[in-house]
């Protein structure tokens, strides 16, 4: 029996019940959404919070969402105190300076009542493929203020007493390029939270309000005890690591991100003193994003089976310089901070921990989300392959002259570790999304995938090889604007324990046979037939390459993952 009188079996049943609720919420969100970004890429996350707004359980989705979502819930409850909420209410927000991450991520918070008593909150976050702003897709590489990045929504009721607040829907729909898709994704978010409300009520009705509340509190205390036990096993000391972003897209280059990890008994402090000041370009990461990346890295080097809730993070203190790249002051542009800087924060915190617990560490993954957006008018493609951008016959928004906005992140190599090779072509660390299948991409947008393959020799050599990056060539079938927001095209993903760095990425415009390299953070006007070639970084290697098993080298050669030249140079092996 626990101190609160809850037997371990009941506690475990409630824990797994809450986790199952979150997974069902996420399945509802994915299956009812309209946009390929949520339906196919699953760029969304769901979680439950207790009656005081503390994280209680989460689905296994995007780390960058989950670690930051508690800040959005706190902001929602500050604006709409629990005593003012009623059954059927739902609070929507996306303001990065009020607990959000970046403007495309819309968070919905729904209170759960049983017999008029507040027992929990269901919350979810979904990346909307367009929320207005200067660039289609709302991930502009050249923004210098948040006002350019899209519609900024403070915590506001989307539903009140179960009734849609049409003024809020109208405000959003009139400020975006794809209103029908936004409306569909918002209603999917509502449906996901309603699923959570229903399932939590079932749990409470089974165990009672008191037992349910005590169980959530005990689970948080349990997670805290386990996290403190894990931290106690790490040698005390100060561990420092530094890496850099390539630049901000506005002229500033080699932006240092510095983390000093101080382990003191059963607690850890992560201090980002020495990190670059906030920049003019859109790579600033608000505190919620920096904390999210830090929490993820701490969990990665401890026990991943610790139940993920607020208790995990009580022993973790995050300190950031105000006005810095990792804690900017408004109105700094922040869309890329959630996407790119979060990855570098993860890299430096993991790099610092590698000094303390090298056996748990991994080399750097690709360290970027390789963001790309295409936007314009969806022209109709005729049988001859020509595009009629004036066609608008059926008004359904597909090949008919309506506006379109496509957003996607690209996978790359994962870092190798003491336990084995890094995975090839995956979304690493803060991103845990999928790709947009070529068939869906070509059906939903005036785009074609011309090439999609692994990039040989991009994984860093080592006793364990880093994962490979990929190449994805996308042709536009109509005039369009393309925005690129990527990194690790100058600073390579680091290796560990003698392993070599992974290859950097690159982006090219293939225009009639003329390959022109594009800046990693840039916006371009394209003509029908232009092809953007996205080439993502590989992961760093781990350990001395000369110690790599000969059979593993032979397998890589046979599968085309490395060339014979690379085998000779890095592994001292010839063709086999």
Q: Each residue of 414-440: pLDDT tens digit?
A: 999 999 999 999 999 988 898 999 999
Asked whether residue 357 is domain-assigned, the answer is no
Asked whether residue 167 is domain-assigned, the answer is yes
pLDDT of residue 65: 80
Q: What is the mean pLDDT of residues 98-112?
A: 96
Q: Which residues pair with 108 in a beta bridge?
A: 92, 124
Q: Which residues pair with 481 in a beta bridge?
A: 375, 525
Residues 338 and 213 in one domain: no
The token pair that represents 320 in the structure block = 């950031």
pLDDT of residue 393: 39
Residues 341 and 285 in one domain: yes
- Percent of the chain whose pLDDT exceeds 90: 90
Residues 234 and 126 in one domain: no
Q: Which residues pair with 48 in a beta bridge?
A: 57, 122
Asked whether residue 50 is domain-assigned, the answer is yes
Residue 219, phi then psi, degrees to nearest 5: -65, -40
Distance CA 298, CA 288 (A): 15
Condensed to tens digits (0 to 9), the pLDDT of residues 221-232 reads 999 999 999 999
Condensed to tens digits (0 to 9), the pLDDT of residues 278-287 reads 999 999 999 9
Condensed to tens digits (0 to 9), the pLDDT of residues 488-504 reads 999 999 999 999 999 99
Q: Which of 287, 322, 349 lies at the terminal end of a domain, its last residue?
A: 349
Residues 221 and 245 in one domain: no
Residues 405 and 313 in one domain: no
Nearest CA to 556 out of 471, 468, 491, 479 is that of 468
The number of helix segments (H) and strand segments (E) in the chain equals 14, 22
Give yes or no for residue 184 having a pLDDT over 90: yes
Asked whether residue 206 is domain-assigned, the answer is yes
Residues 166 and 272 in one domain: no
Cβ contacts of 170 within 8 Å, gap of 6 or more: none
Domain of 257, in residue numbers: 226-349
Distance CA 286, CA 96 (A): 7
Q: What is the distance in angstroms between the CA of the first residue and the CA of the last residue of the chain? A: 61
Asked whether residue 355 is domain-assigned, the answer is no
The token pair that represents 187 in the structure block = 């209603």
Residues 172 and 233 in one domain: no
Residues 165 and 27 in one domain: yes
Condensed to tens digits (0 to 9), the pLDDT of residues 38-52 reads 999 999 999 999 999
**Contact criterion met (CB below 8 Å) for 149 and 334:** yes
Considering the chain, what is the average pLDDT of its residues?
Answer: 93
Q: What is the mean pLDDT of residues 155-182?
A: 97
> What 3-state DSSP class applies to 118?
strand
pLDDT of residue 572: 79
Residues 148 and 267 in one domain: no
Asked whether residue 1 is domain-assigned, the answer is no
Q: What is the mean pLDDT of residues 75-101?
A: 96
pLDDT of residue 226: 97
Distance CA 415, CA 158 (A): 41
Q: What is the mean pLDDT of residues 111-126?
A: 97
> What 3-state DSSP class applies to 69?
helix
Q: Structure pTM?
A: 0.94
Condensed to tens digits (0 to 9), the pLDDT of residues 507-551 reads 999 977 678 999 999 999 999 999 999 999 999 999 999 999 999
Number of other CB atoms surrounding residue 387 within 10 Å? 20
Domain count, the chain: 3
Distance CA 216, CA 82 (A): 18
Rg over alpha carbons for the chain, rounded to the nearest Å, is 24
pLDDT of residue 205: 96
**Contact criterion met (CB below 8 Å) for 123 and 177:** no
Nearest CA to 419 out of 459, 367, 463, 460 is that of 463
pLDDT of residue 400: 60
Residues 134 and 163 in one domain: yes
> What 3-state DSSP class applies to 371?
strand
Residues 207 and 103 in one domain: yes
**Which single residue is written with the structure tokens 């819930």?**
73
- In 416-520, at which residue ranges do the beta strands (DSSP E only) sit? 447-454, 470-476, 480-485, 506-511, 514-517
Q: What is the mean pLDDT of residues 475-497?
A: 97
Q: Please report which confidence band the pLDDT of residue 396 belongs to, taking 50, 70 and 90 as the band edges.
A: very low
Residues 89 and 43 in one domain: yes
Q: What is the mean pLDDT of residues 297-301?
A: 95
pLDDT of residue 63: 81
Strands 387-388 and 55-58, sheet pairing: unpaired
Asked whether residue 254 is domain-assigned, the answer is yes
Asked whether residue 127 is domain-assigned, the answer is yes
pLDDT of residue 514: 77
Residue 66, phi then psi, degrees to nearest 5: -70, -40
């Amino acid at each position: 029996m626990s101190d609160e009188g809850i037997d371990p079996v009941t506690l475990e049943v409630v824990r797994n019940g809450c986790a199952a609720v979150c997974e069902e919420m996420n399945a509802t969100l994915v299956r009812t959404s309209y946009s390929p970004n949520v339906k196919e890429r699953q760029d969304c996350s769901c979680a439950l919070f207790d009656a005081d707004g503390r994280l209680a359980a989460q689905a296994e989705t995007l780390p960058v969402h989950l670690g930051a979502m508690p800040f959005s819930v706190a902001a929602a409850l500050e604006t709409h105190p629990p005593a003012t909420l009623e059954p059927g209410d739902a609070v929507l927000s996306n303001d990065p300076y009020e607990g959000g991450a970046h403007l495309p991520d819309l968070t919905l918070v729904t209170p759960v009542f049983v017999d008029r008593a507040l027992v929990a909150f269901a919350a979810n976050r979904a990346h909307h493929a367009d929320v207005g702003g200067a660039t289609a897709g709302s991930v502009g590489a050249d923004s210098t203020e948040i006002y350019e990045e899209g519609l900024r929504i403070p915590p506001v009721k989307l539903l009140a007493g179960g009734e849609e607040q049409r003024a809020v829907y109208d405000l959003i729909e009139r400020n975006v390029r794809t209103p029908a898709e936004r409306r569909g994704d918002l209603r999917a978010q509502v449906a996901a939270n309603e699923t959570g409300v229903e399932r939590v009520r079932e749990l409470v009705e089974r165990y009672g309000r008191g037992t349910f509340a005590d169980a959530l509190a005990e689970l948080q205390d349990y997670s805290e005890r386990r996290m403190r036990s894990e931290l106690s096993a790490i040698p005390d000391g100060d561990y420092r690591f530094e890496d850099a972003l390539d630049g901000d897209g506005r002229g500033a280059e080699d932006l240092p991100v510095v983390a000093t990890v101080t382990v003191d008994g059963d607690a850890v402090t992560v201090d980002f003193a020495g990190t670059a000041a906030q920049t003019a370009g859109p790579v600033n990461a608000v505190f919620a994003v920096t904390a999210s990346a830090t929490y993820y890295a701490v969990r990665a080097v401890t026990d991943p089976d610790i139940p993920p809730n607020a208790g995990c993070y009580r022993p973790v203190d995050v300190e950031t310089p105000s006005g810095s790249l990792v804690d900017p002051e408004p109105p700094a542009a922040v869309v890329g901070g959630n996407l790119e800087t979060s990855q570098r924060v993860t890299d430096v915190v993991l790099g610092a921990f590698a000094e303390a617990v090298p056996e748990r560490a991994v080399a750097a993954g690709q360290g970027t989300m390789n963001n790309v957006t295409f936007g314009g008018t969806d022209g109709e493609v005729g049988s001859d392959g020509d595009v009629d951008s004036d066609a608008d016959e059926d008004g359904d928004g597909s090949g008919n002259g309506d506006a379109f906005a496509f957003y996607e992140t690209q996978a790359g190599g994962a870092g190798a570790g003491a336990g084995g090779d890094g995975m090839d072509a995956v979304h690493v660390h803060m991103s845990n999304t999928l790709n947009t299948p070529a068939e869906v991409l070509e059906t939903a947008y005036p785009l074609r995938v011309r090439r999609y393959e692994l990039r040989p020799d991009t994984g860093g050599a080592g006793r364990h090889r880093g994962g490979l990056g990929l190449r994805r060539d996308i042709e536009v079938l109509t005039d369009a604007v393309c925005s690129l927001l990527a990194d690790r095209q100058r600073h390579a993903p680091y290796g560990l324990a003698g392993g070599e760095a992974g290859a950097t990425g690159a982006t090219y415009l293939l225009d009639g046979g003329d390959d022109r390299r594009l800046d990693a953070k840039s916006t371009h006007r394209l003509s029908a037939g232009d092809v953007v070639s996205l080439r993502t970084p590989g992961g760093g290697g781990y350990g001395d390459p000369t110690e790599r098993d000969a059979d593993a080298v032979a397998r890589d050669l046979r599968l085309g993952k490395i060339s014979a030249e690379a085998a000779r140079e890095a592994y001292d092996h010839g063709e086999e």
